[in-house]
Structure 1
Amino acid sequence: MNAKEPQGTASRRAALRLMDAVLRKGLPLEAALDTAARDLKRPDDRAFAHAMVAEALRRLTDLDALIDSATKKPLPDDSKARAALRIALVQALAMDTPHHAAISTVLPLVDGGPRRLVHGVFSTLTKKGAALPELPSLPGNVRHRWQQAWGGLVVEAASRALATPPPLDLIFKDDAALDRLQCSCESRNPAAPNDETGLLLPQEHGEAHPLSLMPRHLRLPRDTHVPGLPGYVEGDWWVQDISASMPARLLGEGKGKTALDLCAAPGGKTMQLAAAGYDVTAVDASEKRLERLAENLARTKLNAKTIAVDVMKWEPKEKVDAILLDAPCSATGIFRRHPDVLYRARPRIIAALAEGQKAMLDRTAGWLEPGGTLVYSVCSLEPEEGEQVVEAFLADHLDFQILPIRSGEIAEGMTPSSEGYLRILPGILADHGGADGFFMVRMRRS
């Protein structure tokens, strides 16, 4: 740190780099963090830089509207002055940072006229009591796209989802593992959260409860301390959003059957299939991500073969009974966890991903035994990556038919479409903390 700079300036400098990496270079927030925060030695400084940018991305449309209301003409989107104001204002208006600290740690990052501009705009807005709306506004292009695809109620629900970080979902490898955690919870004092785990136990007067929305599922408050929960070391469960757990559930029990989990890392679906009795081969192009999958398998004491290879350059020696293809996608369905996707997933990128998904589905479908089952899924809210991919596939593969998803196979509150697939939109399970956006379809080869 420069001796003349206020303490905390380094984390704001890292935040500016991180925001630039997302908005200008199109990099994922998590992937860009190491480089952006390269000068930060303390984990809490690094975490704060990440938190500032994540919150700024949630509120970017509204932050920019405030900035534009206080300037004679709009600042360029990529100007350093606008970026510095975003970082200063999100601290002051959304993160409870004292105003003097929010601005004094940002001013050293801009020079000359832009510095005076940043100070003047910040002072004008804070002195007149500027505030952010209760619900964040979606970026205009995203709002328009989702309005056309899903309607105004879904757009409003998406804004509500963006305002609130999601809860924590645990998926259990068997019923006994869930029973063990529930029994452990019931044996603790129900009057208050456990200090070690942070777990809020069933309580009266409307306080938070652990909630099971499906077999082998438990939903906990988002600030639960995961490693301290009973059963973590023993490998009884893993963290996985309820939506992400649905595709593997659709394949059912697997004793005596073989399965391919394609694009498998970090392994939640692989573990589900292994726990269901399948002889699983997990394929992913990233060796690093497969290392994490292997760690998860070791902790949960579940077995699966892993292969680090691009599925477009590989094929199995034998056909299999089941295939789960959770294809690479825009990931717009997980915007409440990763708000950067709202700015990175542009129409051109969505179209390119859809073409890749079609090619991947075409290639891998031939690896399925006649009578076998294929589940295709994406954590995307874009019809181009879900419904339209499947329509094109079925038109070209007359030996495949949709095997309709039934209400009893999925969480209560989720409804299959008339075509038999499942589209999970913002607003679903809203009273229980919501769910990530997803599309999935189950098909059988005749």
Structure 2
Amino acid sequence: MAFATRMYREAVVWRKRIDHALDRYVRKSLYTLDPDVLCSLRIGAVQLLVLGTPAHAAVSATVEAHSSRKTRGLVNAVLRKIAVHTEEKLPLHIMYSHPEELVNRWMKRYGGSVAQRLLEWNNQPPPLGGYAFGDIPAGTEKGEFLERYRVMGRHGAFQPPDNFYIQDESAAIVGQGMAELPGVTVLEIGAAPGGKTAHLSGTGFVISVDRKRKRMRRWIANRDRMRWEDCFPVAADCSSLSFSMKFDKVIVDAPCTNTGVYRRRFDARWNWSVAMEEELVQIQRKMLVDSAKSVKPGGVLVYSTCSIEPAENSGIVQFFEERNLAFERIPFPAPEALVTGEGFLSVFPPKAGIDGLFAASWKYRG
């Protein structure tokens, strides 16, 4: 089961590189093939090109598992050619299997060598880890920055112990920073499945809002397991909500392109486009401006994403501050090495060794 899961992950991650190789040996367009045929070819090719499975095992097992006897000959013939295939020097976007326009953007921003490190990072399987709110599990190792963040090996099925929340260390850093900011009445927007709520629980009265009901069901399951007795779920679009009270702390965990967490959300890269980013920027602007209306005078506002794109991070901050002069930016509480001179939490994965995230915070002087 573990190997099947790994094959699926790698077939998704390396799709562009795999398809580039397959295209040499399939006479017609890959995308006109029967979906079962294309799936079998990708599963076989990822074993041969990425996982290093012995050729005889990868080819025979894939052909045997292929559902249609009519097309087994095609699958067998193509995979045998892939088994002796020699890859030429490939452009980075094909070699590391990312959208071409996004890779070109990163190369321009970071330079070729740093962009390549980011691509390599994105394709690595992430370690299994989480934040220990109770006893630290035996046999675990400390994270990069937080003592209570623990990393463990992947050995079959894992059942998290009581008061242990599975998440990347960067998410734990953001959640812990949000909890450290002052405020006993909290409005948390974009709350599901509960990674930030886990840190906010115990700090006061928390209303946790998310517009996706399916994700809120996961939030409720986590609440029941972790016993968040002071946190209350609301499944709704935040723009449709109207509260009679103002809050000490309002948190906006905005939807984003996920470019900081491609290692963990390995299929998200295939959703990326310039149009998608532009649409999300408009949503992020509106969410932050609308949410700021719920902050009481003297209260705190927080904005966070799991993107590394300036348009979704510093660009949103600039847009907001130009129109909301009563909000004074304050440093986000986080490890010093991750906080910029502007007071932002800004995590670049290859440098920090954890997933990419961004957070900014303000105090309302109204």
For normalisation by structure 2, the TM-score amounts to 0.85
Deviation at 1:325, TM superposition (A): 0.7
Contact 2:14 2:97 (8 Å CA) reproduced: yes
> What secondary structure is seen at the aligned counterpart in 1 of 2:350?
coil
The answer to whether residue 364 in structure 2 is matched with residue 445 in structure 1 is: yes
The answer to whether residue 349 in structure 2 is matched with residue 421 in structure 1 is: no
More deviation in 163-172 or 258-267? 163-172
The one of 217, 222, 228 aligned to 1:296: 222
Q: Which residue of 2 aligns with 1:309?
A: 236
Contact 1:331 1:341 (8 Å CA) reproduced: yes
More deviation in 136-145 or 333-342? 136-145
Q: Which residue of 1 aligns with 2:152?
A: 220
Unpaired stretches in structure 1, ≥5 consecutive residues: 1-43, 186-198, 202-208
**291 and 137 in structure 1: CA distance in 2 versus 1, 3 angstrom threshold:** closer
1:295 aligned partner, one-letter code: A
The one of 23, 35, 49 aligned to 1:93: 49
Contact 1:52 1:91 (8 Å CA) reproduced: yes
2:80 aligned partner, one-letter code: S
RMSD: 3.0
Q: Which residue of 2 aligns with 1:102?
A: 62
Q: Distance in 2 between matches of 1:313 and 1:402?
A: 27
Deviation at 1:422, TM superposition (A): 1.9
> What secondary structure is seen at the aligned counterpart in 2 of 1:316?
coil
Contact 2:129 2:152 (8 Å CA) reproduced: yes
> What secondary structure is seen at the aligned counterpart in 1 of 2:186?
strand
Length, aligned pairs only: 353
For 1:272-351, list aligned pairs within 5 A: 272-275=199-202, 277-303=203-229, 304-351=231-278
**255 and 337 in structure 1: CA distance in 2 versus 1, 3 angstrom threshold:** closer
Deviation at 1:118, TM superposition (A): 4.7
Q: Which residue of 1 aligns with 2:31?
A: 78
Q: Distance in 2 between matches of 1:436 and 1:373?
A: 25
Contact 1:62 1:136 (8 Å CA) reproduced: yes
Deviation at 1:404, TM superposition (A): 2.1
2:99 aligned partner, one-letter code: P
Q: Distance in 2 between matches of 1:137 and 1:155?
A: 13
Q: Which residue of 1 aligns with 2:305?
A: 378
Contact 2:249 2:295 (8 Å CA) reproduced: yes
Q: Distance in 1 between matches of 2:179 and 2:86?
A: 56
Q: Which residue of 2 aligns with 1:136?
A: 96
Contact 2:194 2:219 (8 Å CA) reproduced: yes
Contact 1:165 1:222 (8 Å CA) reproduced: no
Contact 2:182 2:300 (8 Å CA) reproduced: no
**131 and 215 in structure 1: CA distance in 2 versus 1, 3 angstrom threshold:** same
Deviation at 1:274, TM superposition (A): 1.2
Q: Distance in 2 between matches of 1:324 and 1:332?
A: 21
> What secondary structure is seen at the aligned counterpart in 2 of 1:374?
strand
Deviation at 1:70, TM superposition (A): 4.2
1:143 aligned partner, one-letter code: V
Q: Distance in 1 between matches of 2:10 and 2:69?
A: 20
Q: Which residue of 1 aligns with 2:131?
A: 171
Contact 2:128 2:152 (8 Å CA) reproduced: yes
> What secondary structure is seen at the aligned counterpart in 1 of 2:214?
helix
> What secondary structure is seen at the aligned counterpart in 2 of 1:377?
strand
Q: Distance in 2 between matches of 1:368 and 1:311?
A: 14
Aligned residues: percent identity? 28
Deviations 1:99-149 (A, max 9, x none): 2222343482875xxx7655443222213566999x834332221122234
Q: Distance in 1 between matches of 2:348 and 2:168?
A: 14
Deviations 1:338-375 (A, max 9, x none): 22111112111111111111111111101001221111
